[in-house]
Amino acid sequence: ATPTALMVGTGRGAQLGILIKGPEVLESTRAVDTVVLDKTGTVTTGRMTLLAVHTAEGTDEAEVLRLAGALEHASEHPVARAVAAGAAERVGALPVPEDFAGVPGLGVQGVVYGHAVLVGREQLLREWAMDLPADLARAKAAAEAAGRTAIAVAWDGEARAVLEVADAVKDTSAEAVARLRALGLTPILLTGDNRAVAEAVAAEVGIDEVIAEVMPQDKVDVVERLQGEGRTVAMVGDGVNDAAALARADLGLAMGTGTDAAIEAGDLTLVRGDLRAAADAIRLARRTLGTIK
Ligand code: ADP
Ligand code: MG
């Protein structure tokens, strides 16, 4: 394409809310046939709400909220924000943890009021040789069947509660997926979240292919595997945990509402965090480069 065409394309991108790192990006955009979509914060709003607290027998709900809320207050994950805000709403001021560490893709661990506390996926508890008791396992299964994320809470070596957290699909996501399909692209939903939750979201927006329960560091392997199948892959994401996959993809699209790490790793930014702009970007690249030899 001529420099003029690329400049026009880049300028039109800016009007559409698409920030393009360099004119050469349009070249890789044109060939894309597969679009991998991160779930949380990309297809969904990422603004989660704490909906319910299920406690084990003999466990005080307020104590669950104080301990879990205190730890999550120190984390920036969308799940953590929901838990901290929901806890503060229900029990007031939260204690400051004596110790805190995030465990990427799994949850958080730390010390609150002298208790060793874990908040996160069931897998995080298993790593410390803890299981959910039958009543909490049932609460978790029911929450997930309803498309919600279930977060386990444990302290001092015992599972104590399951928190139900829900996210909302962005109201533009279904239309965005339909537009991607209309361009002949295959959409795939990729997430670290539970399979049942991922499938509920996929069904809501019209995606057939779901890759769930993927650890943050393994998202890049998924992109590589798809490329190994001969596909030209675009990845759309917003999180720190998407950065490597965004960089590895043939085309990385970062949500402008996402983290700096994602924006730096991407080839272009969807400024308003509107997924429909992903389809606009691909159409724009095809137009810009298609008209001029
Ligand atoms: P996604 O790919 O959907 O953006 P992540 O890979 O960041 O999600 O996390 C995967 C899962 O790990 C989350 O759905 C949640 O169940 C759990 N998780 C991660 N961080 C936290 C946290 N701070 N508190 C509780 N759970 C967490
Ligand atoms: Mg995300």
> Residue 292: its pLDDT value, please?
38
CA dihedral 235, 237, 241, 244 (to 10 degrees): 30
> Residue 1: its pLDDT value, please?
67
Over residues 221-236, the mean pLDDT reads: 97
Question: Token digits for 18?
Answer: 């698409």
Over residues 256-284, the mean pLDDT reads: 94
On the question of pLDDT at 105 being above 80, the answer is yes
Confidence of residue 293 (pLDDT cuts 50, 70, 90): very low
Residue among 44, 72, 121 whose CB has most ligand 1 atoms within 8 A, to mutate: 121
Over residues 193-197, the mean pLDDT reads: 91
Residue among 49, 106, 144 whose CB has most ligand 1 atoms within 8 A, to mutate: 106
Please say if 250 is a catalytic residue: no
Q: How much of the chain exceeds pLDDT 90, in percent?
A: 80
pTM of the model: 0.85
The protein residue with its alpha carbon nearest to ligand 1, atom 9, reads 105
Confidence of residue 184 (pLDDT cuts 50, 70, 90): very high
On the question of pLDDT at 152 being above 70, the answer is yes
> Residue 224: its pLDDT value, please?
98
On the question of pLDDT at 47 being above 60, the answer is yes
Beta-ladder partners of 54:
162
DSSP state of 97: P
Domains of the chain as residue ranges with CATH? 3-45+169-290 (3.40.50.1000), 49-166 (3.40.1110.10)
Higher pLDDT, 50 or 194: 50
Ligand 1 touching residue 198 (CB < 6 A): no
Whether 71 contacts 112, CB under 8 Å: yes
Question: Token digits for 106?
Answer: 């799994």
How far apart CA 224 and CA 222 sit, in angstroms, is 5
How far apart CA 19 and CA 62 sit, in angstroms, is 46
How far apart CA 278 and CA 290 sit, in angstroms, is 18
Greatest CA separation for the chain: 73
Beta-ladder partners of 53:
163
DSSP state of 218: G
Ligand 1 touching residue 121 (CB < 6 A): yes
> Residue 56: its pLDDT value, please?
97
With CA atoms as reference, report the closest residue to 5 among 20, 19, 23, 17.
23
- DSSP alpha helices (H): ranges in 57-167? 61-72, 78-91, 122-127, 134-145
Tens-place pLDDT, residues 73-102: 999 888 999 999 999 999 999 999 999 999
Closest ligand to C-alpha of residue 236 is 2
Question: Token digits for 224?
Answer: 């590589």
ipTM of the complex as predicted: 0.93
